[in-house]
Chains A and B, each alone.
Chain A
């Protein structure tokens, strides 16, 4: 028995604490390079992040994987330093360079102790402005990328994710191809391609230097003029590809003989990040599969025990996006799990979320927002995303109000507009011999042995 004084119901809230959104100092260098500086004290760290208009989506299909290769090859050294010398110079300062290439951008970043920041930023600029791309490092990096492509079959989650993109968009669409390219497109890439891509797209106009941490805007302005002052040029604008196309519902099995689990990816193409439906969509997604207490997780995990977890996402990019539900389930539960996912999705679109669900999702999203801006790296990444998608300068400041403004009808409308149950593609990476017979009760199945 619990003691008499123990409350039987949960205690209510106290007074709300204010949340200081980092203020951003914005400036532009003569070269066109945008500067964004967010001062944070507390922990003496600084993150510097250079975001450039050099994503995979800028490439034609024949060159798929070149941006990824170029990003990785930046570790190969500079005009003055070998790969080892570069690594030692960075790590002696307690930092390392991260290069991250996505559809929309190439990001080069580092986080270091505040007192080492000036030296670290000089190194970052040396890497981007005067990359060495020695032949042997480009070749080694390319072989590793090829290895990753060839070995993808062995990693069920990666395989399912790649297959989902392929079947949601079609192989000719930009977002349908694997981000790191294919054996065919990568095998022929040489130093000249890598150096050419960097020379063409690593340019200040259209790029931004974002600095967050224990450093002043004035200090960053001076330092960035020193480090990036001589940088010139603009990356050529690239046409955005077309929006989503929807087809019939499909069931695709990517065969993995003997798999003990099936990796499921269920979804379809979607809209760009700038959609006016953005806030209704994230509220809707929290209800469907974006939180532990979402409909999908409570059903598939906490009720049925089919999976360790299930989630849904709207992955929204510059020129379009993807709606995708992801989970891994025991082989014998595959068809039952697919049936539940389809039913939950159909019900949500047909009936919309309940007022209580929308209220809970709004409070959840508004409440966790400060957790997404805790570190200097998170703040810098958030500002970089605003830059890439052209979001308003007060985006972070208004985020929670805009979430709280989403009404039940907004979320229900977004569900009807942005989720098409009849057009869902169901991708199963699993043992076709064991899962196909029962899956066939849901519709015609395609089995791919060599994806």
Chain B
């Protein structure tokens, strides 16, 4: 593995800064994580963090609407943002010699986004977000799986119980006051990590961050995660749901709550997921696709979440005409089978993860995003260079123990889609 150079700094207002210079490239990635996501939304507020993310591109004190993209694209940069359960990230990658521009743009909206906020901009982005929801969820087969599954996996009151995109009803209800309160609570230097990665001079970059971000006042402190992260689902209650919908094939999802990303047992869950459903040599692919021929495709993935419990999601799409009960039975059989795994399966999962991590490190934008993630969630960006060691340390026994404790029927939710029988 390789070691990623990085240095950490912080400003008086609490902004944490990670600098990771790589003189071999003529580009620089600017990546800003705000420690806020859908987990911070209260009842009636679903989708607010994401809609807010859209509003951050609508201008600020010195930046007109659309000028953010115009300025960045005009110098050969790309920019975007995303909202997730635990965080919201904003990022741009641009030619190194325009780094100062990106810092100015990010600082202007971190400090002074509210003066540019208007009702007209809110209405426009409300429509854009509703179309995003239609395109990605409502007009897609299986598109509402996360809405259904999260409500089964996480108990009432849990901050992960609703999807990041939010409900159309809540999105329709947001006012300028909602946006303003959200900004004041969460968009502050002491709730953010700024990472620079690529070709730049660290000394100059640090001067610029002080110049642009140094005058932004810290936030009010005491930010809350909505609801109860420790809420437990009633044990020994199997959650299951079958939905008849406009889908081409029967599909079964299984989801289990697993240790959070900052729990050492998380890595056993991650490896368990890979053994189960990553790649053509995985158990689900071999069993359901190649041998029994009941499934068209399979997948398993662990979401690295921080609050209360993370989630392992397993999925199998049945071949035409397969019986939904049979598909669920073989899927569950493979999950249960994880109580015994071989050393070579763990080694294979780790080898695949090694290549995947190297692949992420190739891209300065992804390197920057990982540094921001480790700084935000763990207070330690250097974890980027040692993460693979935590996977290498996973033993077959640890996977078996994890499977016994966390993947059993008492902690499992099953969601089955079957094609609608009549048009």
Contact = CB atoms under 8 A, between A and B. Distances in A.
B94 A367 contact: yes
A83 interface: yes
A14 B208 CA distance: 13
A137 B77 CA distance: 45
A11 B212 CA distance: 11
Nearest to B29: A371
B125 A305 contact: yes
A91 B280 contact: yes
B61 interface: yes
B179 interface: no
Interface string A7-19: 1111111111111
A230 interface: no
B407 interface: no
Interface in B31-88: 61-62, 65-66, 69-71, 73-79
A305 B123 contact: yes
Interface stretch (B136-144, B180-188, B298-306, B328-336): B136-144
A170 interface: no
Contacts of A2: 61-62, 108, 111-112, 215
A237 interface: no
A435 interface: no
Contact of A7 (B69, B104, B320, B423): B104
Contacts of B96: 14, 17
Contact of A87 (B93, B132, B138, B279): B279
B130 interface: yes
B135 interface: yes
Interface in A60-93: 75, 83-84, 87-88, 90-93
A43 B2 CA distance: 7
B319 A307 contact: no
A374 to B, nearest CB: 5
Interface string A356-367: 000010011111
B66 A328 contact: no
A304 B211 CA distance: 37
A155 B140 contact: yes
A303 interface: yes
Interface string A293-306: 10000100111111
Contact of B281 (A17, A84, A144): A84
A370 B130 contact: no
A156 interface: yes
Interface string B88-118: 0000011111111100110110011000000
A426 to B, nearest CB: 19
A185 interface: no
A45 to B, nearest CB: 5
A328 B105 contact: no
B352 interface: yes
Contact of A11 (B104, B290, B293): B104
Contact of B74 (A91, A260, A364): A364
B73 A95 contact: no
Interface in A71-130: 75, 83-84, 87-88, 90-96, 111-113
A339 B93 CA distance: 34
A444 interface: no
Assign chain B's interface to a size class: 35 or more
Interface string A432-445: 00000000000000
Interface string B346-366: 011001111100110111100
A129 B343 CA distance: 32
B98 A292 contact: no
Interface string A372-388: 00111100000000000
A39 to B, nearest CB: 13
Given A2-B111, A307-B131, A17 B95 contact: yes
B97 A17 contact: yes
A365 to B, nearest CB: 7
Contacts of A91: 279-281, 348, 351-352
B74 A360 contact: yes
A112 B355 contact: yes
A48 to B, nearest CB: 13
Given A92-B351, A292-B69, A140 B131 contact: no
A298 B354 contact: no
A282 B65 CA distance: 26
B344 interface: yes
A5 B212 CA distance: 9
Nearest to A41: B24
Given A2-B112, A147-B296, A305-B124, A11 B100 contact: yes
Given A113-B354, A291-B73, A375-B362, A83 B290 contact: yes
Given A88-B281, A293-B70, A308-B135, A94 B352 contact: yes
B148 to A, nearest CB: 18
Contacts of B25: 370, 374
Most central of A11, A96, A257, A330 by chain B CB within 10 Å: A11
Most central of B27, B75, B95, B107 by chain A CB within 10 Å: B95
Given A154-B248, A260-B134, A45 B215 contact: no
Interface of A: 2-3, 5-20, 42-45, 75, 83-84, 87-88, 90-96, 111-113, 140, 143-144, 147, 150-151, 154-156, 257-261, 291-293, 298, 301-308, 328-330, 360, 363-371, 374-377
29 contacts: A2-B111, A3-B215, A10-B101, A10-B104, A10-B105, A11-B104, A13-B95, A14-B97, A17-B97, A44-B358, A90-B281, A95-B355, A111-B355, A144-B296, A147-B319, A150-B320, A154-B141, A261-B139, A291-B73, A292-B69, A293-B66, A293-B74, A302-B66, A307-B131, A308-B135, A328-B134, A363-B75, A364-B73, A367-B94
Given A144-B296, A291-B73, 12 more contacts: A3-B215, A6-B111, A17-B97, A42-B362, A43-B361, A150-B320, A154-B247, A261-B138, A292-B79, A328-B134, A363-B74, A364-B76
Please name the 4 residue pairs, one residue from A and one from B, whose CB atoms are nearest each other, closest first: A367-B76, A305-B127, A94-B351, A151-B248
